[in-house]
Homo-oligomer: A and B are copies of this chain.
Amino acid sequence: MTPTIKDIAKAAEVSVTTVSRALNGYTDVNEETKKKILRIADELKYSPNIAARSLIVKKTKTLGLLLSGITRSSIKDNIAFEILCGMNDRSGELDYDLVLFNTTSQKQRMKSYKSLCLERGVDGVIIMGIRLDDPYLQEIVQSSIPCVLIDIPLAEKNVGSVSTDNVSGAYQATEHLIRGGHKHIGFINGHAQAYVSIKRLEGYRLALLDHDIEYREEFIADGSFSENGGYESAIMLATKHPEITALFCASDLMAIGAIQGLKNIGKTVPENVSIVGFDNIAISGYCSPTLTTIHQNKYDMGYRAAQMLVDMLEGRQVHPHLTLPAELVERQSVRILS
């Protein structure tokens, strides 16, 4: 058996109360006895039982993670991973542990969001990759469990959000193309149930507007954020509208698919059509041609999300919505016309 506080008490010839107080750094315990207790605890290799502890103070020092991106299909665009790294680093610094919730399995999917959190006894939750039409989202809003959402700004008590400035990012991407002399610019978006898609579309339209270019619905396609979606959308757009000389893609993965798609119908990037992506995933710096894209600081998103959540948990004032800057990184996939 592993030693308990009781064993220490016995060995030190004091009460469990005193041991508890000594261990938790209370003042009203004699320096001598405190030293003794600490020494004995060390000798016995005592380590506290978190379950018992959290049974009475209702805190567990753990954050729950509801990440839909931790799955086989999202290995290439390891956005979830980068965000996870940031969260992991910051929560470690703040002395919180992270628990991954399994939302994939059927069994778990039945459970309500709230009971999921309650059972595990997490203090708060970070959620990402959730669709706007996901029933969980409703629950989250209603439940009083503190949480921060990645990429969905919800105005509710106890919920915060962090995201990249998507409209600025999309604006920069589109404007970059326009400045390059492009007038017919297609847009491969994600899907309608993603908040970022809505925002990126907004940025795209705004840029067109500001430069007096007509917005044309038929220049838009949804690529569902997948490589294959980008592939097919690019082919579709390029064949239906051969006047298009540039494509803005709402994700790098779709951009990479688009490059392949275009190649497949005999068009090369950037000679025939220019492309700018979004995300700045690792691959985009290595593929051919390397991808001009909008950089999202994914690591930072995770880092700041963790920070915000524990700020909320520990009663500090927080600004509930954090938007990180997006930044254009120029590489080889766009051609500057004359």
A70 & B51 in contact (Cβ 8 Å cutoff): no
CB neighbours (8 Å) of A54 from chain B are 51
Residue of B nearest to A53 (CB): B51
CB neighbours (8 Å) of A72 from chain B are 85-86, 89, 299
Interface status of A45 (Cβ within 8 A of chain B): yes
Q: Could you say which of B55, B86, B92, B100 contacts A97, with CB atoms under 8 Å apart? A: B100
A173 → B minimal CB distance (Å): 21
Residue of B nearest to A86 (CB): B72
Residue of B nearest to A91 (CB): B102
A111-119, A160-168, A206-214: which lies at the B interface?
A: A111-119
What CA separation (Å) do A2 and B114 show in the bound complex? 11
A249 → B minimal CB distance (Å): 15
A196-204, A216-224, A282-290: which lies at the B interface?
A: A282-290
Once A92-B108, A299-B75 are accepted as A-B contacts, the answer to whether A119 and B282 lie under 8 Å apart by CB is no
Once A84-B70, A98-B100, A287-B287 are accepted as A-B contacts, the answer to whether A115 and B51 lie under 8 Å apart by CB is no
Q: Mark A28-44, 1 if CB is under 8 A from B, else 0.
A: 00000000000000000
Q: How many residues of A contact B (CB 8 A)?
A: 55
B121 & A51 in contact (Cβ 8 Å cutoff): yes
Interface status of A82 (Cβ within 8 A of chain B): yes
Interface status of A105 (Cβ within 8 A of chain B): yes
A75 & B70 in contact (Cβ 8 Å cutoff): no
Residue of B nearest to A109 (CB): B92
B75 & A82 in contact (Cβ 8 Å cutoff): yes
A97 & B102 in contact (Cβ 8 Å cutoff): yes
8 shortest A-B CB distances, which residue pairs? A92-B102, A47-B115, A81-B81, A288-B288, A286-B287, A92-B105, A78-B78, A98-B100
Q: Give 24 pairs: A residue, B residue, CB < 8 Å, sorted on A.
A: A45-B114, A45-B115, A47-B119, A48-B119, A50-B119, A50-B120, A51-B51, A51-B121, A52-B55, A72-B86, A75-B78, A75-B82, A76-B282, A78-B78, A81-B84, A91-B102, A92-B105, A93-B105, A95-B108, A97-B99, A97-B100, A99-B99, A99-B100, A287-B287
